[in-house]
Amino acid sequence: MNNRAVLYLRLSKEDVDKISEGDDSASIKNQRLLLVEYANKHNMTITNIYSDDDESGLYDDRPAFNRMMEDAKLGEFDVILAKTQARFTRNMEHVEKYLHHDLPVLGIRFIGVSDGVDTADDNNKKTRQINGLVNEWYCEDLSKNVRSAFRAKKRAGQYVSSSCPYGYIKDPKNHNHLVIDEYAANVVREIYSLYLQGIGKARIGRILGERGILIPTLYKREVQGLNFNNPNALETTKVWSFQTIHQILNNEVYIGNLVQNKISTLSYKDKKKIQLSPDKWIRVENAHEPIISKEAFERVKALQKIKTKSINAQDPKYESIFSGLICCADCKHSMIRKYNRRGQHEFVGYMCSTYKTHGNRVCTSHSIDYEELTDAVLLSIQREARKILSNDDVEELKKTSCRNRRIENIEKEIEFAEERKQKINKFKKKTYQSYLEELISKVDYKEYTANYDKELEKIEAEISGLEKRREDDKELESEYQEWVDKFSEYVDIDKLTRGIVIELIERIDVSEDGSICIHYRFKNPYED
């Protein structure tokens, strides 16, 4: 009788959890003791031991399992011993493939010591098949429970991924919560700052590389000491890529939001990942401390929507800081770059795209010189900013004070109207009590009540109108303050950048005579 035996041991994630709770019945040590005892009792010689740690029985890409199957093909042993069939596999397809085909073809016997599975017993086949189904159902239920628990954690704003986004580490006191890694966070802040200055993503990557700043993968591996691997990155890649910068600039995690559940496995039996539609994503705001302000994040988002091209990367003079913002005042179509036809082919300004395509049958050129446009926009921003702190703005400050007093007066009026409402409701109650005590007739009660209801209706309408006035005033005040906050930063501005233009300007209309109309994102709502 062939008696060369190997032991197959497997520990799953679930087993690890049970062991930590004090149940070590499935430990590698106890599996080994059980199988060694069985082999000795049945006069089997153990030739090798194969052990997989933290591996699911659903899949057959387990390292030790695959080594064992390769050795099986070489005829290295006669019997495989495992604690149970489930240790060998929990997949019904693999029961048929390995236990009922591959191993019998190779002349190898499989024995599940604890559950009585033995491929040498033909009468045992149905038991093996039933075990396979039960094991697979178990995995399916477990997968559902795990997914459900993960979704609950995600909805509660807990971070469940094994690796953290660049700029964050896991809280030592709570591994489902992110805390800031200051060094990496400063790099993230600089990436946003550079982009808002008008520097492109590829150029930002080169700047970081020139300064010797490690890419996220290498930083996690070499500085943080993590066993981290990015499956999408080439092992030889050590430079900041356009894509890496792009991902950082578009990740809501940096404003304190967690957006999880973006990917999922195809099924509990398949490791293939699929992208989920946005309606299935789980978003929780303010889940952790932000690195970037929401305002800066939105500015970056707005900047990316506008296609930016540099005319001459070597000469900042010809950076297209207005790209996507210039429109023809008449046909409302975009303006395109205009080049000098004489001598060197250089960017000199803008012209109407409709005119360029269809000629003056549809529109005129609306030409404007780039340097003249730059000077005009710079001057306009300077004037707008200096309004805020000029002596002439004293009247505006007085106005603000009046607005505040007006809001206070409106709130007092609302308070007074609420008091009147309470009094009328008391009168209604007294009138009803008088009716119950037969002090007034039913006719009188109805008449009094109708009058009270009319008065209450008038008061409600009055309160509603006052509240609208108050909210309108507050909104105007908020707009005014936003205008002040934005433009006060640029009182001493002496040079335009792409970032400044994007932040302040929504659109620039160019008329045929070369005059421009600037539509600012922020404005004084009290100006005509």
Residue 76 is predicted with a pLDDT of 93
- When the pLDDT of each residue in the chain is averaged and rounded to a whole number, the result is 81
Which of 241, 275, 305 delimits the end of a domain? 305
Domain assignment of residue 188, yes or no: yes
What is the C-alpha R_g of the chain?
Answer: 37
Instruction: Name the least confident of 91-100, 216-225, 312-321.
Output: 312-321
Q: Which residue has the tokens 């309160």?
A: 463
Q: Model confidence at 322, in pLDDT bands (50, 70, 90)?
A: confident
Whether residue 102 has pLDDT greater than 80: yes
Whether residue 349 has pLDDT greater than 70: yes
How far apart (Å, rounded) are the C-alpha atoms in residues 258 and 284?
5
Q: Which residue has the tokens 């006669």?
A: 78
Q: The domain that contains 127 carries what CATH number?
A: 3.40.50.1390
Residue 398 is predicted with a pLDDT of 46
How far apart (Å, rounded) are the C-alpha atoms in residues 473 and 479?
10
Residue 389 is predicted with a pLDDT of 54
Cβ distance 12 to 52 under 8 Å? no
Q: Are residues 37 and 105 in the same domain?
A: yes
Q: Are residues 149 and 185 in the same domain?
A: no
How far apart (Å, rounded) are the C-alpha atoms in residues 196 and 304?
10
3 state DSSP class of 403: helix
Q: Model confidence at 78, in pLDDT bands (50, 70, 90)?
A: very high
Residue 267 is predicted with a pLDDT of 54
Q: Are residues 139 and 175 in the same domain?
A: no
Residue 235 is predicted with a pLDDT of 43
DSSP string across 420-470: HHHHHHHHHHHHHHHHHTTSS-HHHHHHHHHHHHHHHHHHHHHHHHHHHHH
Domain assignment of residue 277, yes or no: yes
Instruction: Name the least confident of 205-209, 287-291, 407-411, 484-488.
Output: 484-488
Q: Are residues 274 and 230 in the same domain?
A: yes
Q: How many domains does the chain have?
A: 3
Q: The domain that contains 291 carries what CATH number?
A: 3.90.1750.20
How far apart (Å, rounded) are the C-alpha atoms in residues 344 and 93?
71
Instruction: Name the least confident of 363-367, 418-422, 498-502.
Output: 498-502
Extract the tokens encoding 195: 């982009």
Domain assignment of residue 361, yes or no: no
Q: Are residues 262 and 199 in the same domain?
A: yes
Domain assignment of residue 59, yes or no: yes
Domain region containing 245: 168-305
Q: Are residues 184 and 129 in the same domain?
A: no
Residue 516 is predicted with a pLDDT of 93
CB burial class (10 A; 0-12, 13-18, 19+) of residue 80? buried
Whether residue 362 has pLDDT greater than 60: yes
Q: Are residues 185 and 142 in the same domain?
A: no
What kind and span of H or E run contains 228? none
Domain assignment of residue 312, yes or no: no
Domain assignment of residue 63, yes or no: yes
Whole-angstrom CA distances from 181 to 73, 111, 290 are 51, 52, 11
Three-class secondary structure assignment of 358-389: HHHHCCCCCCEEHHHHHHHHHHHHHHHHHHHH
Per-residue model confidence as pLDDT tens digits over 147-196 = 677 677 778 878 888 788 999 999 999 888 999 999 999 999 999 999 88
Q: Are residues 192 and 98 in the same domain?
A: no
Q: Are residues 24 and 110 in the same domain?
A: yes
Q: Which of 147, 200, 191 minimizes the C-alpha distance to 167?
A: 191
Domain assignment of residue 192, yes or no: yes
- β-strands 258-260, 282-284 pairing: antiparallel
pLDDT cut 70: percent of the chain above it: 81
Per-residue model confidence as pLDDT tens digits over 13-65 = 666 555 555 555 668 888 899 999 999 999 999 999 999 887 877 788 889 99
- Chain length of the chain: 528
Which of 305, 339, 361 delimits the end of a domain? 305
